[in-house]
Each structure stands twice: as C-alpha cells, then as structure tokens.
Amino acid sequence: MKPELDEIDNKVMALLMDNARLPVTSIARQVGIARTTVIARIAALEKRGIIAGYGVRLNQKMVQPAVRAYVGLSVEARYAASLIRFLQQLPEAETLCAVSGAIDYMLTLRCDTTETLDRLLDQIGAMDGVRQTSTSIILSKRIDRGSL
C-alpha cells in the first residue's frame, strides 16, 4: 500500500534529496511553513519509512577516476543465489537489480581500470549458470537525480 503524501511532503522530500544537509529554517522558508512543522513532517516521514536514511554522494571525478559499466546477465535460475553471493563480495559491484525481459539481472560495476573490468567480466562469465553477459561502458551521466 502506497503511503499518502501531500504537496508539502513532496516539496520537503525534494529539497532534502537535493541537499540532505539543508537547514530546517531554509526548508521552512522555501516551502512556506513553520520550522516546527518541517521538523514534525521530516520526523513523520522517517517514522513511516518513507525517508529511509541519509548519505553522502561523492563527486567520483574528484575522488578517483573510474570505469563504470552496466552488465546484463542471463543466469540459470538454480545458480542465481550463488551468483548473488559472489557479487555481494565484490567491492566493484555497485548495484544488482533483478529485471524482466531477455536478461535476468542488471549489474553496475565500478572499476579503477578497463583491465580490472575485463578481469571481473571474465570471472563473472566463467561462473556456473551464467549463460550470457552483455556489457556497456558508461561514458557520461546525462541525468543524475542523486538517489542513494
């Protein structure tokens, strides 16, 4: 069941998604409500689990250069659990999503070099139950809404 959110909740969440460190007074001013109301709204969104947490987004260009790639995986169902366990141990694995369609999973890898990416793709492709992989290197982000 989807929680009911009003326009104020949506405005508060949009401001927090843009900058989770935005002072409550600034949020109140931008939304047009009292500071105490903002505090109560945020607390209610957290309590309901709508706001699941806060984090830091690093500018990856400033931290270290990286090669990022999307990897589509076709996997035999009986091997899926062992593949997921393997990928959970890889620090280069950013996300793994089960998807519908011709592939079973979409993996995002972040590697220091193309050589590291190549080595990981060989390891993943050689695993039991992996029928096929398809890799696309990410050249640039055109839209980044900053979800954590």
The whole domain housing 30 covers 7-47
- Assess whether 13 and 66 both reside in one domain: no
Q: Structurally, how many domains does the chain consist of?
A: 2
Beta-strand ranges (E) seen in 9-66 are: none
Q: What is the pLDDT of residues 26-71, one digit of tens each?
A: 999 999 999 999 999 999 999 999 999 888 776 666 766 689 999 9
State yes or no: pLDDT of 90 exceeds 90. yes
Q: What is the pLDDT, as a whole number, of residue 42?
A: 96
CATH number at residue 84: 3.30.70.920
Give me the residue label for tokens 């069941």: 1
**What is the pLDDT confidence band of residue 148, given thresholds at 50, 70 and 90?**
very low
CATH number at residue 17: 1.10.10.10
The reply to whether 145 falls in a domain is no
In DSSP terms, which residues pair with 70 in a beta bridge?
108, 136
- Assess whether 13 and 72 both reside in one domain: no
Q: Count other C-beta atoms under 10 Å from residue 82's C-beta.
A: 13
Which has more pLDDT, 56 or 138? 138
Per-residue tokens: 50: 């709508």
The reply to whether 127 falls in a domain is yes
Whole-number CA gyration radius for the chain: 20
> Distance (Å, rounded) from C-alpha 22 to C-alpha 47?
20
- Assess whether 66 and 13 both reside in one domain: no
The reply to whether 146 falls in a domain is no
State yes or no: pLDDT of 81 exceeds 60. yes
The reply to whether 53 falls in a domain is no
What's the whole-model pTM score? 0.62
Three-class SS state of 105: strand
Q: What average pLDDT does this structure show over 100-115?
A: 94
- Assess whether 65 and 27 both reside in one domain: no
- Assess whether 15 and 72 both reside in one domain: no
| pLDDT > 90: percent of the chain | 76
- Assess whether 115 and 73 both reside in one domain: yes
Per-residue tokens: 10: 């949506």
